[in-house]
Structure 1
Amino acid sequence: MIRLDTLTCHDQMKGVEMSQYFDIGDETLWNPSNGVSRMFQRQVGVFEAELELPSGIGPMVNDECQISPDTFEIFVSALLAQHRKTHHTIRHALCEGFTATVLVLAERAGIKVDWTRHGAAPEAPLDEVQVSTVAGVSAPAEGTTWSAGLRARTQELGRRMPR
């Protein structure tokens, strides 16, 4: 039996904010649900603190968040460089989803991501290298690039992130 009050739920939701907008000027880059938006914004704060850089992602005002392209470009580059110079499996697991999401936004904003620059051997020693009692020091598998998995994840998320 279908309850009548379930059928009217959609009408009751009219006027209730159901999503947020991440924009550069008048162009919407992403339109996630409220819950996803809140989680993403909290992660932005975490990564701003980790990188000691502003992200360029402004505060949510009503249901809109403006992104400053110049500041965001610097943040994206630093985020990608950080991802490149670590081989810590757990750190990668914790960072990959956020990094891929940011890369989708950067691509939609027309920010050129220089994978080759970040793909070259790091000039500085690697940070956050994981040492395991089972495998020893972790390193990328022979014949694989550090960016292959991140690029695939970015492409997958880009197909699932509504505008």
Structure 2
Amino acid sequence: MGCVFEVGEETVWHPASRVGETYLALAGGLAGLVGVPTGITATAADFHRVDIVQFDVFTKRVFAEYFRSGHELRRTMVDAVLRPSIVMLVRGGGRIEPATEEQRLYLVEAGQLASAMPAQRS
């Protein structure tokens, strides 16, 4: 069993159920903090549609929030949602343009998480 996140007909992430539930809970909390919806809607208990336009706005707001803070613990908490969000955004056709070298390096590191984020349904 797993959790499926789809952009259109493409699966952008298929984590284990508890991993997906954890991501959704954390992303929902951050959405309230950054003031925009995630763009993720449950269509069944384990299937979620990702509105790529809304998700793009959400991910970019979280990205800005991450770099706005210099607080190490706060960054660690935001990071838990941001890295998987970046991978899903890129898989869904989106992109974040870095404004600094620190941001560019972060995006490269986030992209390396993709190998740990299955997108194939078993």
Residue 108 of structure 1: aligned partner: 91
**Cα gap change, 1:114 to 1:96, in 2 (>3 Å):** same
Instruction: Give every structure 1 segment of 4 or more consecutive aligned residues whose post-TM-superposition deviation is greater than 6 Å.
Output: none
Return 5+ residue gaps in structure 1 as ranges.
1-17, 120-144
Give, as a single letter, the amino acid of the residue that structure 2 aligns with 1:114.
E
TM-score (normalised: structure 1)? 0.68
Asked if 2 retains the 8 angstrom alpha-carbon contact of 1:96 and 1:150, the reply is: no
Residue 153 of structure 1: aligned partner: 109
How many residues matched?
A: 119
**Cα gap change, 1:48 to 1:89, in 2 (>3 Å):** same
Secondary structure of the 1:146 match is: helix
Identity of aligned residues (%): 20
Cα distance between partner residues in 2 of 1:52 and 1:155: 25
Give, as a single letter, the amino acid of the residue that structure 2 aligns with 1:35.
R
Higher RCO (Cα < 8 Å, 6 or more apart):
2
* Within-5 A mapping of 1:65-144: 65-116=48-99, 119=100
Secondary structure of the 1:111 match is: coil
- Greater Rg over alpha carbons, structure: 1
CA RMSD in angstroms comes to: 1.5
* Within-5 A mapping of 1:25-104: 25-59=8-42, 61-104=44-87
